[in-house]
Amino acid sequence: MDETSFADWSKRAAEWGAAYRSSLRERPVRAKTAPGEIAAQIANAPPERGESMEAIFADFERIIVPGMTHWQHPRFFAYFPANAAPVSVIAEYLVTAMAAQCMLWQTSPAATELETKVLDWLRQAIGLPEGFAGVIQDSASSSTLSAVLVMRERALAWKGNKAGLCANPRLRVYSSDQVHTSIDRAIWVSGIGEDNLVRIPVKGEKRSMDCAALEAAIIRDKEAGYVPAGVIACTGGTSTGACDDIAEVVRVAHAHGLYVHVDAAWAGAAMICEEFRSLWAGVDQADSVVFNPHKWLGAQFDCSAHFVRSPDDLVRTLAIKPEYLKTHGRDGIINYSEWTVPLGRRFRALKLWFLLRFHGLEGLKAMIRNHVAWAQKLAERLRRQDDFEIVIDPVLSLFSFRHLGAGDLDAHNLALIDAINDDGRIYLTQTRVDGRIAIRFQAGQFDMAEEDADTAFEVITEIAKSLDRVA
């Protein structure tokens, strides 16, 4: 592709992107294709000769787009959002065009120094005190894995990487059953093992970890010859919005010398609003914290903000410094590849810089407050319906509900959510609460308006009534 063609197709791609974003309300939220339908339209072998961009782009529109679920749709109420504010998309155009590998300061000084600055902006925005330093990871999964590896090394007096786990006592890590499954995966990958992830029961409306049970488990494990390493607490758990009492978790854990990591992957973005910070009171005493600006703040995926109290511990756990990665003649520089599991790093800080400067904290706070208010209003409207119950009251903009139809309620609500998603106007997911199916709603898409929450109410109640008539 020559320079003229590159310029022409770059413009066409940008124009397509703008038209796509403006048309989202006209599209079904979830793809309406059957399994294998897309693959059947793609050649079984790679082409021997190059094809024209016209043909490739036409197939993109004909084959690929109909098979996409539209995560930027204003009525995407499933999972948690993976927002990409338009200004963030523009920043990613620039990052893609430069295509820099930002693993070291010397491989792109601006990328490193901007990352340091914008992570400190985020630290201030969510109310973490000075003393925390941040790094951009690809996801909360990688941030939590890094935290678990630090727990492991600290508990083993920094001998785990060298001697391996087989040469050391068995470690224990503690969490409730409300944490994300990325915690399980971090325990697997770190070598600690699923049998050594101790599940602490929860209590109360917030489904908080029972800290008396936590302390009892730590003491019991010490007496049994295990080495307790750390605790993973959550704020705004994925299934029900569970929030641990961070201050009490830290008090218990630190009394026994354990590392505390706080997973606030979704809810952490809301902490730019001072009135929501009671949900994670005590976080200033934690050892590490993660939240994802690519969820509720508008930064295009992938962009996870990982804050640590002791960067030295993180670097000691992860850094490898062969000669070809050393920067000679520069003292005091940061090489963020030493703070992460992957060596290679994209220039993720640019989209945060664009986003924070364009919208300002004021604009982002208004968005989050609106989402919380609209979700709470929807929950109350459903609560007032005789045939609906609210299973979990709103935590920020997340709640769950159940339709009280005839017969098996689990089967009925699964049928309801399938019918809602097949309809295409909105997209929801299910969860289990105390072993029973509930339908989960979260408001968080960047371009959502109040009318989209109103549409959700109309779709949910309309389709529930239609199922009742069929039954």
Cα 295 to Cα 297: distance, rounded to the nearest angstrom: 6
Mean pLDDT for the stretch of residues 205-225: 93
Report percent pLDDT > 90 for the chain.
70
231 and 291 co-located in one domain:
yes
264 and 370 co-located in one domain:
no
Does position 327 have pLDDT exceeding 70, yes or no? no
- Count of Cβ atoms closer than 10 Å to residue 52 Cβ: 8
247 and 341 co-located in one domain:
yes
332 and 436 co-located in one domain:
no
120 and 268 co-located in one domain:
yes
Domain final residue, candidates 346, 377, 410: 346
Query: Has residue 425 been placed in a domain?
Result: yes
The domain spanning residue 108 has which CATH number? 3.40.640.10
Domain final residue, candidates 346, 374, 401: 346
Query: Has residue 165 been placed in a domain?
Result: yes
For 347-373, what is each residue's pLDDT tens digit?
A: 899 999 999 999 999 999 999 999 999
335 and 420 co-located in one domain:
no
For 62-93, what is each residue's pLDDT tens digit?
A: 999 999 999 999 999 998 888 999 999 999 99
Cα 287 to Cα 305: distance, rounded to the nearest angstrom: 14
Number of domains in the chain: 2
31, burial (CB in 10 Å: exposed 0-12, middle 13-18, buried 19+): middle
339 and 291 co-located in one domain:
yes
For 268-318, what is each residue's pLDDT tens digit?
A: 999 999 999 999 999 999 999 999 999 999 999 989 999 999 988 998 898
Does position 325 have pLDDT exceeding 90, yes or no? no
What's the confidence (pLDDT) of residue 79? 86
Query: Has residue 352 been placed in a domain?
Result: no
305 and 434 co-located in one domain:
no
Query: Has residue 303 been placed in a domain?
Result: yes
* φ, ψ dihedrals at 58, nearest 5°: -65, -40
The domain spanning residue 381 has which CATH number? 3.90.1150.10
Domain that holds residue 177: 101-346
Beta-carbon contacts of 218 under 8 Å, excluding residues fewer than 6 positions away, are 172, 174, 228, 252, 253, 256, 258
Averaged pLDDT score across all residues of the chain: 90
CB 242 within 8 A of CB 219: no
